Amino acid sequence: MKRPKVSVVLCTYNGEKYITQQIESILNQSIPPDELIISDDCSSDCTVDIVNDLANAYPATIRFIQCKKNIGFIKNFEKTISLAEGEVIFLSDHDDVWFEHKIEYMLQPFIDHKDIGLVYSDAVITNSELESIGHTLFGRRNSMKLDKMRTAPMLIKDVGINGCTMAFRSVLKELVFPIGEGWGHEHWIAFIAYAIMAVMPVDKPLMYYRRHGISAGNDPLLEGGRIRVWKTGITEASLNEYERDFCRWEVMFRRLHEIKLKRSVAWINYTNLDAYLSECGRRTELARLRKKMKEKGRRNRLPDVFRIFFAGYYYQYLHGVKSLAKDLLIR
């Protein structure tokens, strides 16, 4: 079977310290990409100059775009992915380093299985100097079972897939854009891919995932383990957080319903989609109930808390005792 055309999408913002190393790791793949699209989101350091020099050195491969105004990394990825011409699209951050065979290993499932829509790999977590901290992403997120075939309730509880570890078929673009409000681009794409196509994890580290001052702090599980997750959950237990949670799942439910109406799309697994739509609907109604419950005094929340508890949703869709404590005790 002919190898599909490969696009790598890389978004930059003030990445002068690491960008050269990452671009070189992409260009030096055992199977190099057919195109590398780089979009800069108004960097104020030397990132643009560095990328311009590399783009001039590799004009047949690198296409460099500069945003006229800062649009944020989610919109930047959305815009840049839409420009990709490859049949398989890889996502890349500006501060990681890919292993030599990353594209080769991740491309093979797409060649072997026509129903595969998305592939993601493990990664070695490092410090700013690219020294391993002794963990991989799959190992650090062991409870998410990223190395397994995952179910809708598992994904509803935690998608947990990093965009920089992902590759997906370009046919998904017509269904995942625009990215839903309140969702990161990678979790949105991964959830929809799971709902309508097959997804395959590669239980092998294929890159260095660099954690440093700029990237650190946005992932409690990676930064401080379970204690940090609990502390973050407590500080984000406001009514606004419950409102965001409801809106987030409502927009996903609407998108899956819209996809279901596209009965003419042959490659969509509609049986699987129905299962995800059902689970997503329950999660949306759960978010609606929790939002209304949070508006009540703590004593008056008890009936709703008991209802959620006895339905099993605290453990099926949420985070067990931590979520129960947030609902019942925190204003």
**231: confidence class by pLDDT, cuts 50, 70, 90:** low
Instruction: Please report which residue ranges of 201-269 form alpha helices under DSSP H.
Output: 220-235, 239-260
pLDDT of residue 239: 74
Domain 6-219 has CATH 3.90.550.10: yes
Judged against a pLDDT cut of 70, whether residue 222 lies above it is answered with no
What is the SS3 assignment for 124?
strand
Domain ranges of the chain: 6-219, 236-329
Question: What is the residue-averaged pLDDT of the chain?
Answer: 92
Judged against a pLDDT cut of 70, whether residue 161 lies above it is answered with yes
pLDDT of residue 331: 75
Judged against a pLDDT cut of 50, whether residue 204 lies above it is answered with yes
What is the arithmetic mean of pLDDT over 162-176?
A: 97
DSSP string, 166-180: EEEEGGGHHHHPSPP
What is the arithmetic mean of pLDDT over 104-120?
A: 97
**227: confidence class by pLDDT, cuts 50, 70, 90:** low
What is the arithmetic mean of pLDDT over 58-66?
A: 97
**237: confidence class by pLDDT, cuts 50, 70, 90:** low
Tell me the pTM.
0.92
Question: Is-contact 35 63, C-beta < 8 A?
Answer: yes
For residues 130 and 212, the model is more confident at 130
What is the SS3 assignment for 51?
helix
Judged against a pLDDT cut of 60, whether residue 57 lies above it is answered with yes
Minimal CA–CA distance to 41: which of 8, 78, 6?
78
Q: Which helix (H) or strand (E) holds 133?
A: strand 132-136
